[in-house]
Amino acid sequence: MTEPVRERLLAAADELFYAHGMRAVSADKIIDRVGTTKVTFYRHFRTKDDLVVAYLERRAAAERAGVEAVIAAAGGDAAEVVRLMSAGLGEMACLPGFRGCPFINAAAEYPDADSAVRRLVDSHRDWWKKMFQDLVAPLGLPAHTGDDLMVLRDGAMVAGYLSEADAAAGAFLRAGLALIGDPRDG
């Protein structure tokens, strides 16, 4: 059975938006990739920005599931979560075609804070910050530690795209462990 058209449009958007940028990829290019018509495309997505939002929602759901799996695997231990995230970031950044964080990329392409894309980016980043805050709360650390860990993650994602993945992952690990006060070596 063939995958539904909506799913094929999202899969093509995921591949093309991440590789080339959301503004650079036209709806026509996605339509051509899927082998459908404009009428069918617009039946599923009223505008291209609606497709961008759906693409980012799909990415957000995947990220959240991955982070929740890491937290579960670490038994909620903040230092172990930082270690596992660092290892995952290093692996991800070594994959061919890695272009950093799709949400940072989307924020750069959609600077209008009132756009649906930017609101979704902000909402997902708020989720990350709260997750980090909840992770470090049992350690008695201030709430801003979640913001600090978010900045470290952002920096590691950008550095992983711009330079050596191992250096970015290692920096996230060392700085994250120092931030949460874990005396073990990163």
Spell out the domain ranges in the chain: 1-46, 48-180
**pLDDT at residue 183, as a whole number:** 56
What percentage of the chain carries pLDDT values higher than 70?
97
**pLDDT at residue 2, as a whole number:** 67
Q: Which CATH number fits domain 48-180: 3.40.50.300, 1.10.357.10, 3.10.580.10, 1.10.1660.10?
A: 1.10.357.10
**What pTM was estimated for this model as a whole?**
0.91
**pLDDT at residue 163, as a whole number:** 76
Q: 1-46 is classed in which CATH architecture? A: Orthogonal Bundle (1.10)
Range 70-93 average pLDDT: 94
For residue 81, pLDDT beyond 70: yes
Long-range contacts, stretch 87-93, CB < 8 angstroms, 24+ apart: 87/169, 89/153, 89/156, 89/157, 89/160, 89/165, 89/168, 89/169, 89/172, 90/160, 90/165, 90/166, 90/168, 90/169, 90/170, 92/160, 92/165, 93/157, 93/160, 93/161, 93/165, 93/168, 93/169
